Structure 1
Amino acid sequence: MERHHVVPKSEGGTHTVPVHPMCHRTIHAFVANRDLASSYATMDRLRERDDIRQYLRWIAGKPPDFRAPTRRRNA
């Protein structure tokens, strides 16, 4: 597990939540820190994004030790 700053440290955040390393990389590949701070400052709000929702549906069926490369989304 890794600790994800719900509001990024660069945007003044201090609160963290545990997330799987692959999920953590995906969050940061899909969403810019500025957007995390302004529009997705809770995990529930983040899960409402279509791309995150699709990713979570996809990853849910994978074994805990599954690994795959994370690709940045084009903004």
Structure 2
Amino acid sequence: MDDQPCWLCARPLGRRVEYHHPVPRSRGGRETRPVHPICHRALHAAFTNKELQAIGDDPATLRGKAAIGRFLAWVASKPPDFHAPTRRKRTG
């Protein structure tokens, strides 16, 4: 277990940790940040790679977005290793 909190939700990390590229690799990003798997899925379900590139390494901006704000409020009381299916944003 890592001593750092999750980059997105700031809850303690659990046994499973994934590493998110704030600027997607497909857009030239190299840096990674530790996140819960469910937080990682929520990010990619809510934003395109182009949107993530524009936001960059700014979790405060992400937390201010409506879709992530609702997710963070919901996941705040869950244990570190909690996981559930993630819905993708509807297009069209």
Letter aligned with residue 43 of structure 1: P
Name 1:51's counterpart in structure 2. 67
Q: Percent identity?
A: 49
Determine which structure has the larger helix proportion and give its number: 1
Name 1:37's counterpart in structure 2. 53
Determine which structure has the larger strand proportion and give its number: 1
Instruction: Tell me if 1:24 matches 2:50.
Output: no
Structure 1 stretches of 4+ moved >4 Å: none
Give the TM-score, by structure 1 length.
0.91
Separation in 1, partners of 2:88, 2:29: 23
Runs of 5+ in structure 2 lacking a partner? 1-16
Runs of 5+ in structure 1 lacking a partner? none
Give the TM-score, by structure 2 length.
0.75
Instruction: Tell me if 1:10 matches 2:26.
Output: yes
Q: How many residues align?
A: 74
